[in-house]
């Protein structure tokens, strides 16, 4: 398979977190095929997440979905396809044809990174008709069985490891490279914050079942900032949950309204991260920002930190079961672990220092 002349990788997802979780695997595949790899991804993903990959070509598709009343969201002319779970997805006829034109009719190896492929994947596989194919479904030539007990980073990395078992995901898990405007915006926000403080980046909003009670998060921030006068808290996300109230409000800075990429880049400027199961946690992980992740119905073994210093607080059920003292203890323990020791004074800063992370990711 490594001798393929026109290999094509598929990653068709609208989830920002999935793009980050598959980034090390795509970096490895791009290196293995040395300028021969083409990528099929969702519209905008190339610029937002994969601009630094050395690709032969890139085709972007738009996922169309059917609403409950039968109306189609997105462009017209679509083919309705049902997957094994009975979900409906509309793969644009124009997009599938454009994929074939963009990546070449002579695809001889197709590699699907999607662990739960959409029907659009079936349409593209049928249209390209590669001699060989690998993916996480029984209709691929080499059908991989997804092991969801593995971390999502490692599950995605099974594809490059199939081609070269010596590869390690850690070697390809450097910080993401976003469009320059995103990094500039993050640096601009950072420059506008009070100087001389360390930054605790906080991300609290996601799907409701994965969110921690806002009043507990607000109380927790007040306690932590009172204990650590050298820190400020920076709130990122899309929803203002009112976490800036309370005793430490003067050192809590809402930074909502940023693009997803700029918000992730701002996480990379932080010294510490606190958040729920979300794409921002994966960004902190790739930047090696020490972080505490809060988990309830989802498992940190699959979706938590993988590479950087961390602590997980997991209730194994409802998020309401997470106690403030557990989270505070996790933050304190992580701070103690990652603090610069007196004997380290004058040495090269540890890799997780914000400035070092920024240089590594650009």
The answer to whether residues 216 and 136 belong to one domain is no
The answer to whether residues 163 and 236 belong to one domain is no
In a domain, 1, yes or no: no
In a domain, 200, yes or no: yes
The pLDDT value given to residue 74: 45
The answer to whether residues 267 and 192 belong to one domain is yes
pLDDT tens column, 200-254:
999 999 999 999 999 999 999 999 999 999 999 999 999 889 887 766 789 999 9
The pLDDT value given to residue 247: 60
Total Cβ atoms within 10 A of residue 247 = 13
Kind and range of the H or E run holding 66: strand 63-66
Residue partners of 270: CB distance under 8 A and separation at least 6: 199, 200, 201, 234, 284, 289, 354
Cα 48 from Cα 17, distance rounded (Å): 12
DSSP code at position 288: T
pLDDT tens column, 259-302:
999 999 999 999 999 999 999 999 999 999 999 999 999 999 99
Domain C-terminal end among 172, 193, 227? 172
The answer to whether residues 151 and 58 belong to one domain is yes
DSSP code at position 208: G
Residue 78 has pLDDT above 60, yes or no: no
Planar angle of CA 31, 32, 36, nearest 5 degrees: 85
Cα 318 from Cα 295, distance rounded (Å): 9
Domain C-terminal end among 143, 172, 201? 172
3-class state of residue 109 by DSSP: strand
The pLDDT value given to residue 93: 46
CA-CA-CA-CA dihedral for 75, 77, 81, 85, to nearest 10: 20
pLDDT tens column, 295-353:
999 999 999 999 999 999 999 999 999 999 999 999 999 999 998 644 444 433 333 33
In a domain, 164, yes or no: yes
In a domain, 120, yes or no: yes
The answer to whether residues 198 and 163 belong to one domain is no
Name the residue among 89, 44, 99, 87 with its Cα closest to residue 63: 89
Cα 177 from Cα 348, distance rounded (Å): 24
The answer to whether residues 47 and 130 belong to one domain is yes
The answer to whether residues 166 and 185 belong to one domain is no
Cα 105 from Cα 129, distance rounded (Å): 9
- H-state helical runs in 164-278: 180-191, 214-227, 260-267
The answer to whether residues 205 and 351 belong to one domain is yes
Total Cβ atoms within 10 A of residue 321 = 11
- CATH value at residue 214: 3.40.50.2000
Quote the number of domains for the chain. 2
The answer to whether residues 166 and 184 belong to one domain is no
Residue partners of 70: CB distance under 8 A and separation at least 6: none
Q: Among all chains, which residue has been given the structure tokens 């914050």?
A: 193
In a domain, 329, yes or no: yes
Residues constituting the chain = 362
The answer to whether residues 168 and 150 belong to one domain is yes
The pLDDT value given to residue 95: 72
Q: Among all chains, which residue has been given the structure tokens 């820190």?
A: 231
The pLDDT value given to residue 100: 86
The pLDDT value given to residue 123: 82
In a domain, 216, yes or no: yes
pLDDT tens column, 82-124:
333 333 344 444 577 888 888 887 899 999 999 988 777 888 8
111, 141 contact by CB (below 8 A): no
The answer to whether residues 217 and 265 belong to one domain is yes
| Token representation of residue 7 | 């290999």
The answer to whether residues 224 and 303 belong to one domain is yes
- Please, which contacts does 142-148 make with residues 24 or more away whose CB atoms are closer than 8 Å? 146/115, 146/116, 148/115, 148/302
In a domain, 2, yes or no: no
314, 295 contact by CB (below 8 A): yes
Domain C-terminal end among 128, 147, 172? 172
The pLDDT value given to residue 87: 38
Domain that holds residue 225: 180-360
pLDDT tens column, 157-199:
999 999 999 999 999 999 999 999 999 999 999 999 999 999 9
Mean of pLDDT values over 35-46:
93
In a domain, 82, yes or no: yes
Q: In angstroms, how far is the first alpha carbon of the chain from the final one? A: 32
Mean of pLDDT values over 148-154:
95
Burial of residue 66 (CB within 10 Å: 0-12, 13-18, 19+) is: middle
Residue 34 has pLDDT above 80, yes or no: yes
Residue 36 has pLDDT above 50, yes or no: yes
Total Cβ atoms within 10 A of residue 317 = 11
Name the residue among 307, 258, 265, 271 with its Cα closest to residue 176: 265
Of the pLDDT bands very low, low, confident and very high (cuts 50, 70, 90), residue 42 is confident
């Amino acid at each position: 398979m490594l001798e393929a002349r026109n290999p094509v990788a598929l990653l068709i997802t609208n989830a920002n977190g999935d793009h980050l979780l598959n980034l090390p695997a795509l970096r490895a595949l791009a290196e293995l095929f040395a300028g021969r790899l083409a990528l099929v991804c969702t519209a905008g993903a190339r610029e937002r997440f994969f601009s630094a990959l050395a690709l032969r070509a890139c085709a972007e598709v738009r996922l169309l979905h059917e609403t409950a009343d039968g109306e189609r969201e997105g462009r017209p002319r679509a083919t309705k396809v049902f997957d094994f779970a009975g979900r409906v997805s509309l793969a644009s006829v124009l997009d599938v044809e454009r994929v074939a034109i963009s990546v070449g009719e002579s695809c001889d190896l197709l590699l699907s990174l999607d662990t739960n492929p959409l029907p659009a994947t079936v349409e593209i596989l049928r249209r390209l008709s590669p001699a060989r194919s690998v993916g996480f479904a029984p209709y691929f030539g080499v059908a991989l069985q997804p092991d969801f007990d593995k971390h999502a980073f490692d599950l995605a990395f099974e594809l490059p490891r199939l081609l070269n078992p010596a590869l390690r995901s850690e070697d390809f898990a450097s910080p993401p490279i976003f469009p320059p405007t995103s990094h500039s915006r993050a640096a601009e926000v950072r420059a506008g914050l009070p100087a001389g403080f360390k930054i605790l980046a906080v991300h609290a909003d996601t799907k409701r079942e994965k969110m921690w009670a806002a009043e507990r998060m607000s109380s927790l921030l007040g306690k932590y900032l009172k204990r650590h006068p050298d820190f400020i808290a920076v709130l990122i996300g899309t929803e203002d949950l009112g976490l800036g109230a309370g005793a430490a409000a003067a050192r809590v800075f809402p930074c909502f309204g940023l693009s997803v990429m700029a918000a992730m880049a701002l996480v990379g400027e932080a010294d510490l991260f606190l958040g729920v199961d979300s794409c921002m946690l994966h960004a902190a992980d790739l930047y090696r920002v020490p972080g505490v992740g809060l988990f309830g119905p989802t498992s940190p073994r699959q979706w938590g930190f993988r590479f950087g210093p961390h602590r997980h607080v997991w209730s194994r059920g409802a998020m309401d079961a997470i106690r403030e003292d557990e989270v505070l203890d996790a933050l304190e323990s992580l701070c103690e672990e990652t603090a610069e020791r007196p004997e380290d004074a004058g040495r090269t800063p540890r890799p997780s220092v914000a400035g070092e992370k920024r240089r590594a990711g650009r």
